[in-house]
Amino acid sequence: MTDPDTPARAYARIRYRLLVVDLVAWFVFLAAVQGLGISHRFAAWWAHRTPHEPLIIFGYLAFFGVCQYLVMLPLHVYSSFLLEHRFRLSRLTLAGWLTREAKRLAVSAVIAALLVEGFYAILRHIPNGWPLWATIGWVGCSVVLARIFPTVLLPIFYKTTPLQNEQLAARLGELCQRAGIAVLGVFRFQLGAETRRANAALAGIGTTRRVLLSDTLLTEFTPDEIEGVLAHELAHHRYRHITKLLVMSAAGSWVAFALTNLAARWWLTPLGLTRLSDIEGFPMLALWLSLLGLIGLPLQNSLSRMYEWQADRFAVAATRPQAFAGALRRLAALNLADPDPPRWITWLFYDHPPIAERIRAAESHG
């Protein structure tokens, strides 16, 4: 029986509450901006100042984004700064947190603006067949972002350098070859200045695919444990889990967009909108898509957990089972992972199996 008063359980309980509060706050914010006429008034005011549709959308998004950030800021500061320091997970000073926050906002704003501008352009120019083209656009953007992540996005936040430990790099390179995965190389990224957490990833697509190991992982884990963690990540590429999840996401997106096209008629007239491409209806559109996403989340996470189990089995078979179990145990300790989350939390929000179950499964193969 897990002690309910351990730091991991205490941290997890707060995180679960924050997750629910954040979700409710998001829905309330969207409903208020739309229902109180704030969206309509600002969109009308801004439209009088520029005749160009892309600029209208850009200005509206800037207003909406600032309002959202300010409303959610107290909760965000508590969850990403105060709580992380309370449990000694974060090593960022306030100045460091503000710098990272500025980078996060800049990157998020650029990506969000491009996505929304593209989405509304499709709504304007293809009013009847837009669900299919919006799905194609979403999948295309996902592929592009995955490809440029290690070379463009990651360096904005973390310094990345080739791994200097040639013996470990060669060992991990051989593991990649045995798994049939071609990689550019093994790279170290500096996570330790920000957090005590450890992480590893196989990021990128095609010629940008590379092994990424955090400095905290390299410092705290043995070579056998690092090999086990990488084997798990390699399995996702070997079994094409990312491609399969992308296909599922595409199917889910098309269903969501098609349902939106059907359901929009029920809210357009009551909200004073003439077409779905009216930017003043953005909060309602976001609310509707968020609800659909929440409904589909358990299915998506269930499939993801199945793939995680498959990746764990590959890691156990390709490396030393006890080392992989040790790596999972060490990751859980560093990241304060809840060993036994409530069933409803796992069902709704967990895209990985509970860490205690994964550790037991790995040890059973030892």
- Angle separating helix axes 94-125 and 53-77, nearest 10 degrees: 150
Neighbours of 200 (CB within 10 A): 22
**φ, ψ dihedrals at 73, nearest 5°:** -60, -45
The full length of the chain comes to 366
- Of the residues 233, 280, 357, 363, which is catalytic? 233
Using the structure block, give the residue that is written with the tokens 């549709």. 53
Number of Cα atoms under 13 Å in the Cβ half of residue 205:
11
Q: What is the DSSP letter of 201?
A: E
d(CA 241, CA 220) in angstroms, rounded, equals: 28
Pairing outcome for strands 186-189 and 200-203: unpaired
Q: Which residue type sits at 166? A: E
Give the containing element (helix H, strand E) for 212: strand 210-214
Q: How many angstroms separate the CA atoms of 117 and 119, rounded?
A: 5
Residue indicated by tokens 């559109």: 285
Single-letter residue type at 297: L
- CA–CA separation, 80 vs 184, rounded Å? 33
DSSP alpha helices (H): ranges in the chain? Answer: 7-35, 38-47, 53-77, 83-86, 94-125, 130-148, 154-157, 166-179, 215-220, 223-238, 241-263, 265-268, 282-318, 321-335, 343-349, 355-363
Contacts of 59 (CB under 8 A, 6+ apart): 46, 49, 50
**How many degrees, rounded to 5, is the angle at CA 91 between CA 89 and CA 97?**
110
The yes-or-no answer on residue 308 being catalytic is no
Residue identified by tokens 């160009």 is 52
- Active-site residues: which are they? 233
